[in-house]
Amino acid sequence: MSANKPYRVLFSAGESSGDQHAANMFLELKKHLPDIQGFGMGGAKMAQAGIDIRYDSGAIGVIGVIEVLKHYGEIRRALKLMQQLASAEHPDLLVCVDYKEFNLKLARYAKKCGIKVLFYVGPQVWAWRPGRVKTYGNATDMMAVIFPFEPPYYEAEQVPVRYVGHPSVDKVHPQRSKSEDLTLFNLDATQAIVGLLPGSRANEISRLLPVMLKAAEQLKSQFPDVQFLLPQADSISDALLQSYLNQSELAITVVKHQPYDVIQCCDVVMTTSGTATLEIALLGIPMVITYKLSPFTYYLGRLLVNIPFIGLPNIVLGKAIIKELIQHAASPENLVKELSLILTDITYAEQMRHNLEQVKQQLGAGGGSKNMADLALEMLQIS
């Protein structure tokens, strides 16, 4: 490579969390290489970081077999575009961020083109399909994993792997103090404050927000002075969110772009499964996890997944420290039962906070984005 030619990195992020991870990594890369160029598939956070977005991933950030089938045509179009970018522009490195099946296909194609592949956020082989380790190993040059217990799964199959730390450890920091946020959000600290985190995907909102709203209404009848907060995900439009909120007479304070300030104000949070559960854990806030999938996706998952939990805090500690209300158990009544217990049983809530502190300790000191940037520099052979 000419000394005057900047390095070029192709990024592929298909979901909201991946968009943030890729953005943070690229910002760290620019500290070492100010002229480095990033382009590819992602969202607003990557664009803000200076990555040239060739395909907006907002239309394909779905989960579940049925949902993927419904969006199959658009997903296929996105994959074809990314493959064309890889072959036509031949970047120095491809960074695949999560979005497993899509990025596996892209990684295979890039390898055939002679492009180095760094896969960020390894597939959860410890939960299902452990045989996929070799499959991903054949398609990548390096697997970057975010949980400390993951490397042995790859090392056993001689797949190059690096534990880089969980990116949430670095980013989960409120912008203000709790007292400042309580004032800003017009909250009464002497009364219960409950958070609603219905997800960052449209299909999560449609399945879970109505259940959460009904639970909130029932909780309001038990605790008349309870207050509700909802941090709106960047990937969810005002129109979609309001279409559900307008069906409820509850007063719910919706806050944009400040999820950690919202969460720190809460006494308890009802949340979807996923990265949000770890973020809540890092802030030490008691929670209840709920999730619903299409019946077929849920049935298929029951057959394939070989761990007893879906909540990441439970998985990290290997025990049920947070109540999980999944599929048929995800009812307003069950949510209210757990929320009420947390709000009224001081010992129960304190034990949960203690367990969440253990989760935080397990995740380590952070530095995930910097570690990812350093790993990318190694692969670009820059000392």
Distance CA 323, CA 286 (A): 10
| Burial per residue of 251-276, b for 16 or more beta-carbon CB atoms within 10 angstroms, e otherwise | ebeebeebbbbbbbbbbbbbbbbbbb
Q: Tell me the pLDDT of the chain averaged across its residues.
A: 91
> Which of the four pLDDT bands, split at 50, 70 and 90, describes residue 219?
very high
> Which of the four pLDDT bands, split at 50, 70 and 90, describes residue 296?
low
Q: What percent of the chain has pLDDT over 90?
A: 74
pLDDT tens track for 242-279: 999 999 999 999 999 999 999 999 999 999 998 899 99
Question: Tokens 């969810």 identify what position?
Answer: 236
Distance CA 111, CA 373 (A): 21
Instruction: Give the residue extent of every domain in the chain.
Output: 8-165+367-379, 178-363
pLDDT of residue 62: 57
Same fold, 8-165+367-379 and 178-363: yes
**pLDDT reading at 95 higher than 90:** yes
> CATH topology for 178-363?
Rossmann fold (3.40.50)
Mean pLDDT of 291-304: 64
pLDDT of residue 171: 86
Q: What percent of the chain has pLDDT over 70?
A: 91
Give SS3 for 315. helix
| Region 8-165+367-379: CATH code | 3.40.50.2000
Judging by DSSP bridges, how do beta strands 93-97 and 252-256 pair with one another?
Answer: unpaired
pLDDT tens track for 107-146: 999 999 999 999 999 887 765 666 788 899 999 999 999 9
Question: Tokens 């695949």 identify what position?
Answer: 96
Side-by-side strand order, sheet with 93-97: 52-56, 37-42, 8-13, 93-97, 117-120, 142-145, 161-163
Distance CA 211, CA 106 (A): 37
pLDDT of residue 383: 47
